[in-house]
Structure 1
Amino acid sequence: MNSLDRRGFLKIASAAGAAAALAACGGPSTSGGPAAAATVDYTGVTPAPEITWWSSNPGGSEPVSREIIEAFHRSQSGIRVNLVTAGAHYEEIAQRFQTAQAGGAGNLPDIVLLSDVWWFRYYMQRSIVDLTPLTAALGWDLSDYRQGLVDDYSYDGKLWAIPWARSTPLFYYNKAHWAAAGLPDRAPETWAEFAEWGPRLQAAGTGVQKAFQNPALADYAGWSFQNNLWGEGGGWSSDWTVTTDAAGSVKALQHLQDAVYTGGWAGVASTDGVTDLGAGAVSSTIGSTGSLVTLLKAATFDVGAGFLPKGPVTGPVCPTGGAGVGIPAAITPERQLAAATFIRFLTTPENTVKMSAATGYMPVRTSADISSLVATAPQRQVAIDQLTVTRVQDRARVFLPGADQEIARSAANILTQRADVATEMGTLEKTLEGIYTTDVQPNI
């Protein structure tokens, strides 16, 4: 994966120049960080006639995005939308957007796809706009959006993106392998229960490499392992306090390591655990709901799906994830208003169902009619039901620049190099604290 790590991000940010990122700022910040962007008054503003949307088309969503754009054009004649594939994945589009800051408003898109681990960097640079005044100007009621998904983009009492390609992790399994092992047709309720099931699956004679495949660490360790940490009462952080070395966090990673080395029934995906499951190489994995459509097409067996397993500590253990759409702060109010007008259309209940049908991402509106989705793939109902028990991600993962890569590096040391868990998690704590102190605290 062509990741942009913390050092790469900071280098690009320096090249772009703080002045460019803060060009639209004014007034003192009450938080002690950089000056807050001035609130724009959209009274009397006429939307720009043409806007550009930068996307990486997550989940192969380009066809449905273009379909929605054409429907928007038919619904009105004042605004035209150009869709630009600005990167192959979240990191590439983030890098392109960051670099564009140096060229001024003329080089910026009007709408940009913002992943869960990238949008906060642009908040710190003041390079994306607070959407609250735009929703007010358009009379845009957000009460029908799933509150947990909206909360992911809220900070300092303001809203910085609208949910679009949103997901949660799901527990996926091969129903035939479950039957061969004499297991009930459901996901394990707890990790302790799965620790009993794993050896039975491994010994069931199904010919798989492993009963369970941990997700590819570079893509998913920081995201999906929150489930394991939260279930043990740990986490990557609590508010701004890094907690990777807390007892619950260490215990959760020790259980994962034991399943790989001591139990021998769990492996680690080199590229994609869902692909491994779809190919029949493993019996189960955890993957994004955004992978559901691809998995159902690839699998030659009945695919089971369930909630993420719980731990001994009570509380939600499923993180949300994916991407939303935001608007640059440096573009004109006319462009901002046009962009918001299209985003409102993009995320109507009908269009969010279209997105979900094409990709497996979550319908982001509570009033969305999901009957057609569930009729074609009952597993979707599991994913939608799990939204009621999700939890906003730890700030250490999504708000610290480059933290996701640092977490993945530590997870790889633990699960592929058998590093001492307590030592590795202690080292990670110091690394993440350093990122917060140097790169985040001065900017919030």
Structure 2
Amino acid sequence: MAANPVIPALGRRLFLSLAGAGTGVAALTACSGPSTGGNSSTTAADLDFKDVRPAATIDFWSNHPGKSQDVEKAMISKFQEKYPDIKVNLVTAGANYEEIAQKFQTAQAAKSGLPALVVLSDVWWFRYYLNDSIIPLDSLISQLNVPLDDFRTSLVNDYKYDGKQWALPYGRSTPLFYYNKDHFKAAGLPDRAPATWQEFAEWAPKLKAASGAQYAFMHPALAGYAGWTLQNNLWGEGGAWSKDWDITCDSAESVAALQEVQDSVYKDSWAGVSSKDSADDFAAGLASATVSSTGSLIGILKSASFNVGVGFLPGGSKAKTEVCPTGGAGLGIPSGVTREEQLAAAMFLQFVTEPENTAEFSAATGYMPIRKSADMTAVLAKTPQIKTAMDQLAVTRVQDNARAFLPGADQEMAKAAAKILTQKADVKATMTELKTTLEGLYTKDVKPKLKA
């Protein structure tokens, strides 16, 4: 695969747009869902909803990203005031994106118990598309007059493929650099995020000496999307998990980047690795800084007993900007439920993504306001740190294909990171092994559904 990628020199954005123009997707243009709902389940021929009445009851599966259960309940109440004939059941379908994905896959296999609307993460939606598990939203968007041009372009475009819209953004985020302002002041450091990881490495001994914290920095829990946040370290040193479909996690640049991360834990001893949630560890004062999702912002501000600072992710020796990935989750509609349920789900999806509601969701969680017209004045007056996350969106970078498109790759990246950061494994050998695994995922699960 590395020597002969199926789509050479093709960036993800270009790959998506060309696929929509008919350049390379085999067996993917027909969007007929699996027969999971009897004669009333959706097929490619009946995605016309003009004569459909919305279902009286639908299930909405969520893992409540950013501890959003309360705001989700509030939005459901407001929706049912507007549409009293539609009841939305909020179902806690998992504690994280992986758990909700596994539950959804189980329901797909059983051909029963599917939700009408489901939270799907940045690394799961594409496999649902490959498996015809979700429907394109275009006809529903048209019928309900959803203004796609008012959604933040980079966020809504992440769910475009084969010329269609497969989900709408929901709990969308970037990683942020969080730091303890009090610790930084005590160490005589500037009140800002470091420009590069090399600069932070110079600051770290001063932080440890002055703050009394166990660590200057807490690496995110490896099971908590290490493949996502480590893209920042890789990109800063000119590395990546992949370049287009060419797996590059074992390149000299990638190995050098991850060696620096390992050295922060073992050789230089200024960083720890969170066992559960680095945001909670940071808020508890165990470390002077961490990297975590913007969706952790409100929780950190509520929990911390110190002044919290936020900043852009640091760059590296090779790149100092555009080293931050987007991420988070969208909302999709399964193909195996009735058109009545799909229409009701789309109405609820339209409602929760309206400007007022996305501003409310952002205020409650710290996630990005997904609509351009969302009035964030009151939110920013109360939580000005959210503006840093919004500003960083302008310098984000599309995630590597290997993480976003290869089924199961994120878990494999986390396993590799665990070997490097908790077992002190040889970085080059671990990345060589990971490359073999990722190429296997590509060859087995993606390549058969693409054509040159």
What is the TM-score with the length of structure 2 in the denominator?
Answer: 0.88
Offset of 1:45 from its aligned partner?
2.8
Q: 2:219 aligns with which of 203, 211, 214?
A: 214
Provide the C-alpha distance between the structure 2 equivalents of 1:258 and 1:437, rounded to a whole number of angstroms. Answer: 33
Provide the C-alpha distance between the structure 1 equivalents of 2:113 and 2:284, rounded to a whole number of angstroms. Answer: 43
CA pair 279-163 structure 1, distance change in 2 beyond 3 A: same
What amino acid sits opposite 1:301 in the alignment?
F
What amino acid sits opposite 1:240 in the alignment?
W
**Counterpart position of 2:141:** 135
Contact 2:29/2:162 (<8 A) preserved: no
Q: 1:113 aligns with which of 108, 119, 123?
A: 119
Q: 1:267 aligns with which of 241, 261, 272?
A: 272
Q: 2:25 aligns with which of 26, 31, 34?
A: 31
What amino acid sits opposite 1:294 in the alignment?
G
Structure 1: 4+ residue segments shifted above 6 A: none
Provide the C-alpha distance between the structure 2 equivalents of 1:79 and 1:249, rounded to a whole number of angstroms. Answer: 51
Provide the C-alpha distance between the structure 2 equivalents of 1:113 and 1:417, rounded to a whole number of angstroms. Answer: 34
Q: Deviations over 1:396-444 (max 9, x none)?
A: 1122122111111111111222222122111111110001111222245
Provide the C-alpha distance between the structure 2 equivalents of 1:137 and 1:248, rounded to a whole number of angstroms. Answer: 49
Contact 1:151/1:392 (<8 A) preserved: no
Q: 2:102 aligns with which of 88, 95, 105?
A: 95
**Counterpart position of 2:152:** 146
The answer to whether structure 1 residue 372 and structure 2 residue 378 are counterparts is yes
Q: 1:353 aligns with which of 352, 356, 359?
A: 359
Q: 2:290 aligns with which of 275, 285, 288?
A: 285
Provide the C-alpha distance between the structure 1 equivalents of 2:228 and 2:261, rounded to a whole number of angstroms. Answer: 15
Provide the C-alpha distance between the structure 2 equivalents of 1:277 and 1:80, rounded to a whole number of angstroms. Answer: 39
Contact 1:221/1:408 (<8 A) preserved: yes
CA pair 30-427 structure 1, distance change in 2 beyond 3 A: closer
Provide the C-alpha distance between the structure 2 equivalents of 1:207 and 1:136, rounded to a whole number of angstroms. Answer: 57
Contact 1:148/1:390 (<8 A) preserved: no
What amino acid sits opposite 1:31 in the alignment?
V
Q: 2:335 aligns with which of 308, 329, 336?
A: 329
Query: Which consecutive unaligned segments of at least 5 residues does structure 2 have?
Result: 1-21, 32-43
Q: 2:305 aligns with which of 275, 300, 308?
A: 300
The residue correspondences of 1:173-322 to structure 2 (distance < 5 A) are 173-204=179-210, 206-311=211-316, 312-313=318-319, 315-322=321-328
Percent identity among equivalent residues? Answer: 59
Offset of 1:84 from its aligned partner?
1.7
Query: Which consecutive unaligned segments of at least 5 residues does structure 1 have?
Result: 1-27
Provide the C-alpha distance between the structure 2 equivalents of 1:58 and 1:233, rounded to a whole number of angstroms. Answer: 31
CA pair 33-245 structure 1, distance change in 2 beyond 3 A: farther
What amino acid sits opposite 1:259 in the alignment?
S
**Counterpart position of 1:25:** none
What amino acid sits opposite 1:145 in the alignment?
F
Offset of 1:29 from its aligned partner?
11
What amino acid sits opposite 1:416 in the alignment?
T
Q: 2:73 aligns with which of 44, 66, 74?
A: 66
Provide the C-alpha distance between the structure 2 equivalents of 1:442 and 1:36, rounded to a whole number of angstroms. Answer: 16
What is the TM-score with the length of structure 1 in the denominator?
Answer: 0.89
CA pair 35-187 structure 1, distance change in 2 beyond 3 A: closer
Provide the C-alpha distance between the structure 2 equivalents of 1:177 and 1:256, rounded to a whole number of angstroms. Answer: 22
Offset of 1:358 from its aligned partner?
1.6
Q: Deviations over 1:157-214 (max 9, x none)?
A: 222111111111110011111011111000001112112111221222x211111111
Provide the C-alpha distance between the structure 1 equivalents of 2:240 and 2:24, rounded to a whole number of angstroms. Answer: 29
* Number of equivalences: 415
**Counterpart position of 1:162:** 168
Contact 2:196/2:320 (<8 A) preserved: no
What amino acid sits opposite 1:177 in the alignment?
H
Q: 1:50 aligns with which of 50, 57, 61?
A: 57
Q: 2:404 aligns with which of 380, 392, 398?
A: 398
Provide the C-alpha distance between the structure 1 equivalents of 2:268 and 2:90, rounded to a whole number of angstroms. Answer: 49
Secondary structure class of the residue paired with 1:203 = helix
What amino acid sits opposite 1:364 in the alignment?
I
Provide the C-alpha distance between the structure 2 equivalents of 1:91 and 1:124, rounded to a whole number of angstroms. Answer: 18
**Counterpart position of 1:9:** none
